[in-house]
């Protein structure tokens, strides 16, 4: 995908790359009419060219934009510009929980406070029929006041059935996937609760409960083993 820095995407002026993954690139952008910076998540070109994905993207984006909770990252806008499909969200500059975890284990009091925020956000979403499906530290943003914001709700669901997933790509992040995801079974809110439990373990202990060199070996750890610590 071409770098969009210095270009304009609709009414958003793209300033710099804020993050990049296999499915999308996140840019820091400026919205002149509101005089604010925002985060613009641009999906990969191969997804943008998938008609089924585009239809699902619009449905899921509308659902995600309707989530209003203090600890869920707000979605301001979504759309398509030429062959570019994008989401516009609040810009949070405190990094991710994944980055924070590099500093080692957290105190019990801090974990308790952050867990309350994340669990509250998930409970709110689940009551509205929205399951995250790919909860992990990299999808938890932090602000300067050490508050959490869950992001990327619905992205995994948007991907289902696209040419990308049909090529054999895992739907989820192996280290945080629940047993039912490994078995390709239906998921519900309990799938997110499982991932949250793994994250809390990591926050308290400082390491992931399961770690192997291959996804295949990791599957057996999740299905058949207990954490080592």
Active site residues: 134
Distances (CA, A) of 219 to 116, 171, 211: 28, 13, 10
Phi then psi for residue 142, to 5 deg, are -120, 145
Buried residues in 96-133 as b, exposed as e (16+ CB within 10 A): bbeebbeeeebeeeebeebbebbebbbebbbeeebbbb
Instruction: Quote the distance between the C-alpha of residue 186 and its chain's center.
Output: 19
Distances (CA, A) of 144 to 93, 95, 149, 192: 8, 9, 12, 25
Phi then psi for residue 33, to 5 deg, are -65, -25
Q: What is the CA radius of gyration of the chain?
A: 18
Closest CA to 76 of 155, 6, 22, 11: 11
Structure tokens at 168: 């054999």
């Amino acid at each position: 995908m071409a770098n969009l820095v210095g270009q304009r995407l609709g009414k958003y002026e793209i300033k710099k790359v804020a993050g990049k993954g296999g499915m999308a690139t996140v840019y820091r952008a400026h919205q002149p009419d509101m005089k604010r910076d925002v985060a613009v998540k641009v999906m990969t070109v191969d997804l943008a060219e998938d008609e089924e994905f585009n239809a699902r993207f619009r449905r899921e984006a509308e659902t995600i934009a309707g989530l209003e909770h203090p600890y869920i990252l707000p979605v301001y806008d979504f759309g398509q510009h030429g062959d570019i499909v994008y989401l516009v969200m609040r810009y949070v500059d405190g990094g991710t929980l994944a980055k924070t975890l590099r500093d080692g284990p957290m105190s019990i009091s801090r974990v308790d406070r952050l867990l309350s925020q994340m669990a509250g956000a998930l409970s709110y979403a689940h009551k509205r029929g929205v399951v995250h499906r790919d909860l992990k530290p990299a999808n938890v943003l932090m602000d300067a006041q050490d508050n959490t914001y869950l992001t990327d709700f619905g992205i995994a669901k948007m991907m289902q059935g696209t040419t990308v997933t049909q090529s054999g790509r895992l739907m989820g992040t192996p280290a945080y996937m629940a047993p039912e995801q490994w078995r390709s079974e239906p998921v519900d809110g309990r799938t997110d609760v499982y991932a949250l439990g793994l994250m809390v373990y990591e926050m308290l202990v400082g390491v992931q409960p399961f770690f192997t060199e291959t996804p295949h070996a990791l599957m057996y750890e999740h299905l058949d083993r207990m954490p080592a610590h």
